[in-house]
């Protein structure tokens, strides 16, 4: 088995796991709210990843962090593992899953915009097409195909999901400037999220343990969906080129949509399919490099 084949297998496992985040968020929030779910999920992810950091003997790398490194870690942790998931979990609790799913996957498109300003990347026709397709998909879903009447049942929630997706995009762009050992720094991202989510849980909600029914999706989300899936992704990147692996990521929202339809009887509206297809194609347009270099 070649390294490329091994990398493909690992990324497909990642995709299968990431696609389960929407149903896990719905099942885990039967009695928990998004603040409570985020705390438990972040805590479990941190424990698992930090245990891996110890096992891999990478703790010494964390001890070498400068004050500037810690500031970067805290800011990025808030962007990528707190704000993103806080609003995402709120969306899957309060709004229609397929609407949230389409808006959630605007983050690869937002990366293009942030990269232009923060990384001074070149604006190309391919990137313009990707941005237009991506946000067209969102507008199609929000307007139900009638652009003169943009309306959703939980518009404020959907806006927060979009802000969360933008936060994750900003996290992804800024992470390119951080050159720290990946497993250790990711555990610290989740440590930041654990501390802040604990505080926000007490301030905006209340402390609560998951019910017996909720423990399984909480553990699944914390250990695998937000935890070890990252390690699989890192190993996949070591075995195959990122440009080859990136398009596989856009299988994720399609699988998520299937899970939501089967498990929660989400209404299959044609306009949702159109919006989702636009977002997926936008991601593919941006991630697949053309031979012309554009």
What domain range includes position 281?
3-287
Looking at the structure of the chain, the number of domains it has is: 1
Least confident of 28-32, 40-44, 88-92, 284-288: 284-288
Average pLDDT score over residue span 268-294: 71
Least confident of 145-149, 184-188, 280-284: 145-149
Domain annotation covers residue 187? yes
Domain annotation covers residue 294? no
Q: Would you state the pLDDT for residue 262?
A: 86
Domain annotation covers residue 280? yes
Q: Would you state the pLDDT for residue 292?
A: 46
Q: How far apart are CA 161 and CA 88, in angstroms?
A: 5
Domain annotation covers residue 40? yes
Q: Cβ distance 153 to 40 under 8 Å? A: no
- Entry pTM: 0.86
Least confident of 13-17, 58-62, 144-148: 144-148
Asked if the model's pLDDT at residue 256 lies above 50, the reply is yes
Q: Is 28 left (phi over 0), alpha (psi -120 to 50) or beta?
A: alpha
Domain annotation covers residue 292? no
Q: Cβ distance 37 to 25 under 8 Å? A: yes
Domain annotation covers residue 293? no
């Amino acid at each position: 088995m070649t390294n490329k084949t091994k990398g493909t297998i690992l990324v497909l496992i990642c995709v299968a796991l990431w696609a389960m985040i929407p149903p896990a968020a719905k099942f885990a929030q039967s009695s928990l709210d998004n603040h409570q779910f985020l705390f438990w999920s972040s805590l479990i992810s941190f424990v698992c990843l930090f245990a891996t950091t110890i096992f891999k003997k990478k703790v010494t790398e964390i001890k070498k962090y400068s004050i500037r490194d810690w500031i970067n870690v805290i800011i990025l942790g808030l962007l990528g593992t707190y704000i993103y998931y806080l609003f995402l979990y709120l969306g899957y609790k309060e709004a229609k899953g397929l609407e949230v799913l389409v808006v959630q996957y605007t983050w690869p498109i937002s990366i293009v915009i942030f990269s232009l300003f923060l990384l001074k990347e070149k604006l190309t026709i391919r990137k313009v097409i990707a941005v237009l397709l991506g946000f067209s998909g969102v507008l199609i879903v929000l307007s139900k195909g009638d652009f003169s009447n943009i309306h959703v049942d939980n518009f404020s929630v959907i806006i927060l999901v979009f802000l969360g997706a933008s936060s994750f995009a900003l996290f992804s762009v800024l992470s390119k400037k951080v050159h720290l050992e990946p497993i250790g720094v990711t555990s610290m991202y989740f440590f930041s999220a654990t501390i802040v989510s604990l505080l926000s849980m007490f301030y905006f909600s209340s402390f609560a343990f998951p019910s017996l029914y909720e423990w399984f999706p909480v553990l699944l989300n914390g250990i695998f969906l937000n935890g070890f899936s990252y390690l699989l992704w890192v190993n996949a990147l070591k075995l195959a080129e990122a440009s080859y692996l990136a398009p596989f990521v856009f299988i994720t929202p399609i699988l998520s949509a299937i899970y939501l339809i089967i498990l929660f009887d989400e209404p299959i509206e044609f306009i949702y399919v159109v919006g989702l297809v636009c977002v997926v194609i936008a991601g593919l347009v941006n991630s697949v490099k053309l031979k012309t270099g554009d």
